[in-house]
Amino acid sequence: MSFLSFFKEYKKFGIFFTVLSLIILAVIYNILNVQPPLPIYQPAMVSEELVDSSIQHQAKYHKIADFSLVNQNGEIVTQDTYKDKIYVADFFFTTCQTICPIMTDHMYQIQKEIISDDEVMLLSHSVTPKIDSVAQLKKYAKEKGVIDRKWNLVTGDKKQIYELARKSYLAVKTDGNGDEYDMIHTENFMLIDKNRQIRGFYDGTNPEDIEKILEDIKILKQED
């Protein structure tokens, strides 16, 4: 049998084998490139300086506690406002001249990326609620391009904000001067899933971390 005859006889088999090989390779590639799930952060996994001493050794079942705060429009914001939502949270104050402007600008960038995504929102807590009245938050929101349906800036009872920061979001340090409920906010952004669990910590002043948040939001959405 000539080479040409052999080729013609096995041409269909060769094509089938080639297609099958490509399919197998594609399947293997997809399996190897599946994104691993994001961690579920517990107090025991976070630096002790950011966590209230009463829960520092908690290693499971951690969730964001219920809350009731007031936003830039004077509206009550609770955990139900964020029910079935993925959201990015942080702590700030409107008169901060150091890291807060950078953090707020980065929150604004995230807002632009999620503007059409009904599953994702933003939540910024003031650590100086006496200064950051509703009127002050409203002024700040207008200056920073906050879109009300996507992003709440909240104020309220200082004890509640302190406890949320230290016992729920694991995000701020105490100020060290002994004043009750005073706190030093950090650059942390926290990614919260639909089950009110912390799924990521990010440097809110770092542009690369902002890109990471956006990628991690996509991963979270795939969990549904």
pLDDT in tens, the chain (224 residues): 444 454 455 555 555 555 555 565 544 544 444 668 999 999 999 999 999 999 999 999 999 999 999 999 999 999 999 999 999 999 999 999 999 999 999 999 999 999 999 999 999 999 999 999 999 999 999 999 999 999 999 999 999 999 999 999 999 998 756 567 888 889 999 999 999 999 999 999 999 999 999 999 999 999 86
Strand order in the sheet with 86-92: 151-154, 120-126, 86-92, 188-192, 198-203
Residues 7 and 96 in one domain: no
Residues 7 and 108 in one domain: no
Do the domain assignments include residue 81? yes
d(C-alpha 176, C-alpha 63), whole Å: 26
How many other C-beta atoms can be found within 10 angstroms of the C-beta atom of residue 132? Answer: 22
Please, what is the Cα angle at 68 between 138 and 45, to 5 degrees? 105
Domain count, the chain: 2
Residues 92 and 148 in one domain: yes
Residues 105 and 187 in one domain: yes
Residues 59 and 84 in one domain: yes
Which residues have CB under 8 Å from 187's CB, separation 6+?
A: 99, 103, 203, 204, 205, 206
d(C-alpha 206, C-alpha 201), whole Å: 12
Range of the domain at 132: 43-223
Residues 145 and 112 in one domain: yes
How many other C-beta atoms can be found within 10 angstroms of the C-beta atom of residue 32? Answer: 7
Residues 12 and 63 in one domain: no
Residues 82 and 52 in one domain: yes
Do the domain assignments include residue 95? yes
d(C-alpha 14, C-alpha 163), whole Å: 67
Residues 161 and 68 in one domain: yes
Which region, left, alpha or beta, applies to residue 110 given φ > 0 means left and ψ of -120 to 50 means alpha?
alpha
